[in-house]
Chain A
């Protein structure tokens, strides 16, 4: 008994320095950033030795989401959503596909694996510059057809001004509620298989009620912004998304390949004996078994997509409304416009979005451990 408590004390003392350091340099700084985001630190005199800071509450956040000058930030936020979705779908999908191909043990698998993983080792600035040249409007891939005597392509990967899926920022609250109702109904439909009654009560009915309410009484919901302001998926971001997928699909491939190799050969043989096809084996056995890998890939890629900075910087430059990203905007607001409070507010918004991805994951991890 005494020995055990001594051990505990030792463990505590060993951990203490890192606890203090993490407390100050991670949580303390997060706290400081939150505090800064609620002050008016910015404008003239922002760089004085003792700058004047006054508490102004949530005004910076209100400015970002509904203010006149926050338009750029709102487009960046929309871009970030598209970047995240595309990167997840693209990198996880492509990585999984390559891993399945390599799992067939083709000749020279080692070499191929190295080739696919290689982009990961390049810095974003380098790969961004390469891709910028490749996708330039009057060069790179667009001149390829001229080598066989055809007209050059005019596809503008990085400078297109067209956008699709355009919506009005005025309606953002309505759109979000529709999205909530859609997700609830979707979860409900999946849960139907297990327990119909619970699925109806917990997911389907609330989802349908919310959807119907917004549809019927949507005009009662206040506008988020005083005038029309359109945001959408800019075609100019296509090139950047492509480069990001190129860079990260090798990484997800490595994750999946390790997973596939970890599945015992016996299981595969057994499945084959039962008459499973190749497709069936991956569809019903291998991929479901790798769910933890999929989840960690999604977590890692989603926070990478929220930190996108250097690739955008290298490919389309800092001042491009079409391809902007909140992380870039934060840097420019803080260190170019000297608006420290506003920059801190953008940082906190990004922090909250990242938390949205990671907190559910952490919670489910703790729950699993508790069950064991």
Chain B
């Protein structure tokens, strides 16, 4: 009996000594629900991040709540019903910028991440311009995991040589080249369904307005129906004349295919097109396909970013914060982005892991003037974006620049910008 008691005592002592150590390595337990729209091509990149998280916190059960649909078309509706129903996920994906701030931050549903940014030293590694766009005077609202560029014009160098034209630096260059192309039976600029028209519009408008006026537009200092604003729509209308007629039934990949096949000369699309051409189409960056900043936007980097935020009332808050730490870390960023086909938001990322296009994008990002994208949620809130889609519909039909500009201004008033 005595021996047994001794044994128990020893056992208890071992437990006492051992227990704190075990819990220190692994103080986190329970679930972590990550809500995103990364499936298909983007799934492996997310899986790589989850792997890092699981290595650090093996006791946490990660629930990957992905709702498929590009650009979050379905996920956002699901998220809204969940948030309104009082059942927020632990952490959810959102386009950085006004899409988050104008919707969830305005509704007081998000937690301020400034302490986390300070604790992790992120104030120094993320560029100032980016932090400004994802924050307000009340705080910083999300952790950006990647940076995409939206104002890029794609082409196939061999084809351009065949037709005897140069990549256009301004829209006038483009119009001059477009007439040659039309004569050769080539569509100068390929376009796809409606949201890609919004995407084209922001590149054209940035060219017409310049970066300072572009920013003034979104901060309410420049009216949409001012002469400058109308001019942007007029230029856009002129550009549309050189696009394909069956645009509304094509996906962005099909529009990119038109350039690869030589049916069209140029296409303006975000730099996920580089991922599509390198990975799916097996073209070499630089020789198989070429790129240039969209006309008259050289020196400007129109960015969009995927990011994760922390909703108020997150059921497993500590696990979610640990997740955000992984996202913002150098390791997480450099694991995720080469797979996703984007660059890191951090200034200290290891460029040797990225391909040629991404290296050039990273170089531009560090020196260009950074502006926010409209079509992908940085510049304006969801009320404006939803209305803008219908303004665009009407413009594609009527081609009335003044009316479109006025409608945008009304929309901006309504959206409280």
Asked whether B106 is an interface residue with its Cβ less than 8 Å from the other chain, the reply is yes
A321 with B416: CB separation less than 8 A:
no
Please pick, from B106, B248, B391, B411, the residue contacting A316 in the complex, using a CB distance under 8 A: B248
* Complex Cα gap A261–B386 (Å): 52
Asked whether B109 is an interface residue with its Cβ less than 8 Å from the other chain, the reply is yes
- Stretch of B24-32, B76-84, B169-177, B324-332 at the chain-chain interface: B76-84
A68 with B249: CB separation less than 8 A:
no
B383 with A68: CB separation less than 8 A:
no
The 8 closest A-B pairs by CB, nearest first: A337-B386, A321-B393, A319-B194, A72-B390, A48-B107, A159-B249, A137-B246, A47-B107
**Chain B window 368-389, contacts with chain A (Cβ cutoff 8 Å), 1 for yes, 0 for no:** 0000000000000111011101
Contacts of B103 in A (CB 8 A): 44, 46-47, 338
**Chain B window 89-124, contacts with chain A (Cβ cutoff 8 Å), 1 for yes, 0 for no:** 000000000000011101111000000000000000
B107 with A51: CB separation less than 8 A:
yes
B390 with A71: CB separation less than 8 A:
yes
A320 with B107: CB separation less than 8 A:
no
A-B contact pairs, 28 of them (CB 8 A): A42-B383, A43-B414, A44-B415, A45-B108, A47-B107, A48-B107, A51-B107, A68-B403, A69-B390, A71-B394, A71-B407, A72-B390, A137-B249, A138-B246, A156-B246, A161-B248, A161-B397, A229-B398, A316-B249, A317-B194, A319-B193, A319-B393, A320-B193, A321-B393, A332-B389, A336-B77, A338-B80, A338-B383
B102 with A44: CB separation less than 8 A:
yes
Asked whether A236 is an interface residue with its Cβ less than 8 Å from the other chain, the reply is yes
Contacts of B411 in A (CB 8 A): 69
B83 with A320: CB separation less than 8 A:
no
Please pick, from A75, A227, A236, the residue contacting B403 in the complex, using a CB distance under 8 A: A227
- Please give the number of chain B residues whose Cβ is less than 8 angstroms from any Cβ of chain A in the complex: 44
* Complex Cα gap A339–B108 (Å): 17
* Complex Cα gap A92–B411 (Å): 42
Asked whether A158 is an interface residue with its Cβ less than 8 Å from the other chain, the reply is yes
Asked whether B8 is an interface residue with its Cβ less than 8 Å from the other chain, the reply is no
Contacts of A44 in B (CB 8 A): 102-103, 106-107, 381, 383, 415-416
**Chain A window 28-55, contacts with chain B (Cβ cutoff 8 Å), 1 for yes, 0 for no:** 0000000000000011111111010000
The B-contacting residues of A in range 136-174, CB under 8 angstroms, are 136-138, 156, 158-159, 161
A residues within 8 Å of B by Cβ? 42-49, 51, 68-69, 71-73, 75, 132, 136-138, 156, 158-159, 161, 227, 229-230, 236, 316-322, 324, 329, 332-333, 335-339
* Complex Cα gap A67–B246 (Å): 30
* Complex Cα gap A322–B398 (Å): 12
Contacts of B80 in A (CB 8 A): 47, 335, 338
Contacts of B245 in A (CB 8 A): 156, 159, 161
B414 with A319: CB separation less than 8 A:
no
- Chain B, interface SS category: helix
* Complex Cα gap A318–B198 (Å): 14
B107 with A46: CB separation less than 8 A:
yes
Contacts of A322 in B (CB 8 A): 248, 397
Please pick, from A45, A51, A69, A236, the residue contacting B248 in the complex, using a CB distance under 8 A: A236
Residue of chain B at shortest CB distance from A137: B246
Asked whether B406 is an interface residue with its Cβ less than 8 Å from the other chain, the reply is yes
Asked whether B396 is an interface residue with its Cβ less than 8 Å from the other chain, the reply is yes
Contacts of A156 in B (CB 8 A): 245-246, 249
Taking the nearest CB of chain B, how far is it from the CB of A167, in angstroms?
A: 14
Asked whether B247 is an interface residue with its Cβ less than 8 Å from the other chain, the reply is yes
Asked whether B355 is an interface residue with its Cβ less than 8 Å from the other chain, the reply is no
Taking the nearest CB of chain A, how far is it from the CB of B94, in angstroms?
A: 13
A69-B410, A158-B249, A338-B382 known; A47 vs B84 contact (CB < 8 Å): yes
* Complex Cα gap A11–B391 (Å): 55
Supplied contacts A156-B249, A159-B246, A338-B80, 5 more A-B pairs, CB within 8 Å: A75-B393, A132-B249, A318-B73, A320-B248, A336-B77
B108 with A48: CB separation less than 8 A:
yes
B104 with A47: CB separation less than 8 A:
yes
Residue of chain A at shortest CB distance from B382: A338
Contacts of A320 in B (CB 8 A): 193-194, 248, 393
A68 with B406: CB separation less than 8 A:
yes
Contacts of B246 in A (CB 8 A): 137-138, 156, 159
B387 with A321: CB separation less than 8 A:
no
* Complex Cα gap A29–B246 (Å): 42
B415 with A68: CB separation less than 8 A:
no
Asked whether B195 is an interface residue with its Cβ less than 8 Å from the other chain, the reply is yes
A336 with B382: CB separation less than 8 A:
yes
* Complex Cα gap A182–B390 (Å): 34
* Complex Cα gap A320–B416 (Å): 26
Contacts of B73 in A (CB 8 A): 318
Please pick, from B76, B394, B415, the residue contacting A321 in the complex, using a CB distance under 8 A: B394
* Complex Cα gap A44–B220 (Å): 15
Please pick, from A75, A236, A319, the residue contacting B195 in the complex, using a CB distance under 8 A: A319
Contacts of A230 in B (CB 8 A): 398
* Complex Cα gap A196–B394 (Å): 49
A72 with B107: CB separation less than 8 A:
no
* Complex Cα gap A94–B343 (Å): 56
Taking the nearest CB of chain B, how far is it from the CB of A40, in angstroms?
A: 10
* Complex Cα gap A322–B245 (Å): 13
Residue of chain A at shortest CB distance from B397: A321
The A-contacting residues of B in range 294-351, CB under 8 angstroms, are none
Taking the nearest CB of chain A, how far is it from the CB of B231, in angstroms?
A: 20
A44-B102, A69-B391, A322-B248 known; A337 vs B385 contact (CB < 8 Å): yes
